[in-house]
Amino acid sequence: MTWQPHITVATVIEDNGRFLFVEEMKGGRLVLNQPAGHLEPDETLLQAALRETLEETAWEVELTGVVGIYLYTAPSNGVTYQRVCFSARPVHLNPELELDPDISGTTWLTRDELASQGHRLRSELVMQCLDDYLSGPLHSLELIRT
């Protein structure tokens, strides 16, 4: 049996103490997640974070740092994910863009508002990435080599 972890990116986007989340269907329920997705062939981690954020939220963002690198095995299916989480600031909303079909919508929440909806988190990584962003340190984007 071949074990192959899935490489993913996620982006913590802050605007005046509120954070951008996506609402998506997973396992028959509506869950909250950072804009996130899989690295595609011939794509850098930075490109993947920008692309996934735009596709899932219609926001162009400026990446500002690396929050952390996480290894997570999903209890629901045993799949292992390596998540590289970035921080970003919103630059421009493209309201004419159609969101990924898996995305039901987007919402801006404070940390406390997200915590009050803990039962809706796609995984514990959602809160962990946000808390790591808030507690710091953020790492330079130069950490990521292309």
Map out the domains of the chain as residue ranges. 6-143
- Given a contact cutoff of 8 angstroms between Cβ atoms, the answer to whether 92 and 59 are in contact is yes
For residue 21, what pLDDT is reported? 98
For residue 56, what pLDDT is reported? 98
* pLDDT band of 1, cuts 50, 70, 90: low
Could you tell me which residues are beta bridge partners of residue 29? 26
CATH architecture of 6-143: Alpha-Beta Complex (3.90)
For residue 130, what pLDDT is reported? 98
Does this model's pTM top 0.85?
yes
Q: State which H helix or E strand residue 115 sits in.
A: helix 111-115
- For residue 39, which of 67, 13, 18, 69 has the smallest C-alpha distance? 69
